[in-house]
Structure 1
C-alpha cells in the first residue's frame, strides 16, 4: 500500500517541528515496547507521526478498552502520550465511534503482526523499538 493512501483519519496525529517527514506507527497502548518507543518518538523533530491504534488483546486484554478511551478523548494526541508515557488513563466512557477494528484490518493487510511497527513513507515496515536517533536516520 502506498503510504499516502493510508486512512489518516483513523490515526492519532502528532506534528512535531515543521512536520515535513512522515511516519506511521501501529501501536498498542498496553505494550511495554510501544510505551518505550513513544518516549523516543516524542524526541523527534520535523516529523508528522500517524499512530494507528492496534490493540493486541490476546496479549493485553485491557488494550481494547484503553484504545477506545483514548480515541474518545477530546485531545487524542495528549491522551495517547499521557497514557503511554505516564500511565494516565483518560476519564471518559469510551462510548464513541472509533476506527479500532478498521485499524486492525489495515494492519493485517499490511502484514503487521506485532507492536510497535513503524511504516516509513516509502512503505517499508520496521518492527520493534528503535531510538530517536535510529528513527531519524531511517527518515533521512
Structure 2
C-alpha cells in the first residue's frame, strides 16, 4: 500500500510539474507574440492538452507549447453549457470590481435590488433613450453605473463631452444635461474615460449602450426597465 501511495504521490507531483512547465512555456510564447498584453492566468482547460488563457476580459486557448492559439467558445455538450461565456462573465465582473465604483457615475435607487454597469456614448440615440428613462430603472430597484465609450474615439466631440461631464462639480446632473443634448462648459481634469474605453474594448464592445449585469453577463443595446428587472431577477 505504501508503494502505491508513493507512486500516486509521485504521479501527481509529475503532473503538477508538467502543468507548471506548460504554463511557463505558454506565457513565454505569448509574451513574445503579444508583448503589450497582460496575461492574468494560464490553467488547464476542460480539454486535455489545451490551456485556458485569461487576459483582462478575454479568454482564449493555447496548445501546451504555446505555438497554437484558439479563439472561440468551448461548450459542454452534455450539460448544454457554454463554459467559455460562463468564465468570461466572471472575468468581466472581476475587471469591473478592479476598476471600482469611484471611477463610475452612479444613479442609485432608494431601495437597491440589482446593479448594472452601462457603457454609454453621450451622443448615441439609444443611450439617450435609456437615460431619459433612468427614473424607471431606479423605480425597479436597479442601480445604474455608467462608464463612457465614445464611439467616435479619443479626441472626438463625444470624448470631450465625456471628459467635461466627469470634470463637472455634479457629474450626475452634468450627464443628464449632456444626454438631453444641452451644452456643457468645457472642462478638463484627470479622468477615467480612457480606462472605460479600454475596458469596453476588452469586453468586445460593438455598439452602445452595452449593459453588463451584476453576474458579468452582457446585454447589448437598449433594454426597457421592466424587461431588464426580469432578466436580473432570473440570473
Query: Unaligned 5+ residue runs, structure 1?
Result: none
How high is the TM-score relative to the length of structure 1?
Answer: 0.88
Question: Matches of 1:69 and 1:16 in 2, distance apart?
Answer: 25
Bigger proportion of residues as helix: 2
CA distance in 2, matches of 1:54, 1:76: 16
Paired with 1:4 and 1:78, the residues of 2 have a C-alpha distance of 29
CA-atom RMSD in angstroms: 1.8
Name the SS for the 1:55 alignment partner.
coil
Distance in structure 2 (CA, Å) of the matches to 1:98 and 1:39: 24
Q: 1:26 aligns with which of 112, 119, 133?
A: 119
8 Å CA contact 1:25, 1:50 repeated in 2: yes
Equivalent of 1:87, from 168, 181, 187? 181
Residue number in structure 2 paired with 1:139: 232
CA–CA distance in structure 1, aligned partners of residues 95 and 152 of structure 2:
27
Structure with larger RCO (C-alpha < 8 A, sep 6+): 1
The 3-state SS of whatever aligns with 1:134 is helix
Write the distance in 2 (CA, Å) between the matches of 1:74 and 1:41. Answer: 20
Please show how residues 1-140 of structure 1 align to structure 2 within 5 Å.
Answer: 1-3=91-93, 5-6=95-96, 7=99, 8-44=101-137, 45=139, 46-57=141-152, 61-84=156-179, 86-91=180-185, 93-140=186-233
Structure 1: 4+ residue segments shifted above 6 A: none
TM-score by length of 2: 0.54
1:115 shift after superposition = 0.4
CA contact (8 A) 1:17 1:47 kept: no
Query: Paired residues, what number?
Result: 137
Unaligned ranges ≥5, structure 2: 1-90
Which secondary structure state, in structure 2, belongs to the residue aligned with residue 42 of structure 1?
helix
Q: Which has the larger radius of gyration?
A: 2
Q: Shift of residue 103 of structure 1?
A: 0.6
Task: Give 1:2 deviation, angstroms.
Answer: 4.6
